[in-house]
A and B are shown apart, each in its own frame.
Chain A
């Protein structure tokens, strides 16, 4: 009876996939899975032909989409057949949709690998039906506090699933994920050595995090990314390993190269957090028999998913938009650091808007106080613009507390596109950086396109 129910759900799923493909490929990345899982709760557990030793879950707070896509790209580039949820649908239904697409009418799969980005909250649910043997955890950071509360909330969820039958791929330099190794059968560590972009924090107000083992203070010798770097506990023996399986060394940002196990890789994206993604990809691919040359070939033509870094052209201005995850201080810090690398005079537009993911909507900007703005301040910002109907004043206050003169900040308590662009018009500086939510970016993009159309019609 279960088998018949599964075949029926699969059949419906395949029809939906077919229809979605005709109507709109971009949308509906998990619709087939939604219907199939409604028809049969344990739908994904009935597929056949899956070798769980070749199933990977990529989870964690930041970097899972990029890493997932990079691993899949590298495996496919090496001639492997890979089933994956590349479109970012990382819940049970997204995984189900990927399996529906790649399976036969009877639910049999013949892929070489199964690589799934899995939302950290739903990791345990997906694992229940698809017991992957390989789990990659990129990092566990503060994120989406309205639903996650504190990092330990997600830590406990993930920990409850880890067992001795698993191999974990763990960031050696992120204390929380590093500490999960003791629950797994095998752990493969990856990391990034100290490099030109590594930094230390010595300011009075700099803070780190509690040790996941003993709750005392973690001390970082240096950071490669905020809260990721060579660390040790101030109290217990817990620390990052001195020698690990896969370490990126000799990082040359000018040449865009690094070494791992004596092989030099050329890369397209050189931000420090990207190097972690690359080396995790190497760790997995090497472990499963992909050669260095094949990995390198794949890296050459790897393109990251769009929407993280975009450029808008408005009159003479070039507006560089950097997407951040809402309520996520690490991605905000990475965006600020990215802007800081550009020393050309610039305008910085900050649109930390109200959070409207789910009810109740609210006005959280407190994660901005987790970030350090010193590098931004010394990077030749000529004018700061804060906009948002409800939180422009709070955003501006964060800048003021960082030491920015309040007379150098335009505060726009509005979300009106015209008002934002008119404020930009006031300044004869063409280099503009924008941080805001994706939805606002799309609105501004549309506004600029319409503005150009109006000009043509004039």
Chain B
């Protein structure tokens, strides 16, 4: 019997900012390489019902900050189901500004709004936008991840929940901080764009396997460097580019 992975692609048209639909394509492709059938279920509108029970991953790509309060209000209607989804160690991925959804609070220049509060952090709108490459290692296994970042928000972690340790770029709360993203249970929040799961298929593989393991399916197949040759070449090319940059006027 073929193994199946069910992904909720949350608000594809609304959370559509930096080509991040590619992240969903990556889960489908890497899943197929692992001989897994990946079912992607779109939640297109706030009026759509969300099937928490039959899905393994909820995926929130990056969107404009202005849409976040509407998404938060919508998800509040599902607070029990969402709590169970998280308690069941199912995976939630949040990219960039979508971190507002699970944060405690987001402070904008002229207003603020509360998030669902599952991640012990606040997001604060920056005075200026910061765009750069980003390179970091996951705290859980030292896996190296490369991407870009377009930061409109700084992340203030209130407890030790960082996802990764920064090697290059702007950290959660600016250039001098070396933490990146956040993780609580299997809620994963990162600032990395790229799309990050296209550029780092090793991370995609890890999340797919973890999500399946969570429902009692162990995937034996291991994808090799040969499978990821293009992405490894890309990683090395961008690391070379980063090494040539030197210190820049960053904040």
Contact = CB atoms under 8 A, between A and B. Distances in A.
B198 A360 contact: no
A397 B133 contact: no
A392 to B, nearest CB: 7
Given A393-B231, A413-B233, A366 B19 contact: yes
Contact of A205 (B18, B24, B63, B129): B24
Interface residues of A, number: 49
Contacts of B20: 366, 369
Contacts of B198: 369, 397, 401
A297 interface: no
A397 B228 CA distance: 11
Interface in B221-243: 230-231, 233-234, 237-238, 240-241
Interface in B106-130: 129
Contacts of A411: 230, 233
B148 interface: yes
Query: By DSSP majority rule, is chain B's interface helix, strand, loop, or mixed?
Result: mixed
Q: Which of A204, A354, A360, A361 has the most CB of B within 10 A?
A: A360
Contacts of A369: 19-22, 25, 195, 198
Contact of A217 (B13, B19, B132, B230): B13
B132 A360 contact: yes
Given A209-B16, A217-B45, A364 B238 contact: no
Interface stretch (B64-72, B75-83, B84-92, B178-186): B64-72
A89 interface: no
Nearest to B63: A210
A107 interface: no
Interface residues of B, number: 50
B133 A215 contact: no
27 contacts: A145-B129, A145-B131, A146-B131, A147-B129, A149-B129, A207-B16, A207-B21, A215-B66, A216-B14, A216-B45, A217-B44, A234-B47, A360-B131, A361-B245, A362-B131, A362-B148, A364-B131, A364-B148, A364-B193, A366-B195, A367-B19, A369-B20, A370-B21, A391-B234, A394-B199, A397-B231, A401-B22
Interface of B: 11-14, 16-22, 24-25, 29, 40, 44-47, 63-67, 70, 97, 129, 131-133, 148, 150, 152, 193-195, 198-199, 230-231, 233-234, 237-238, 240-241, 245, 248-250
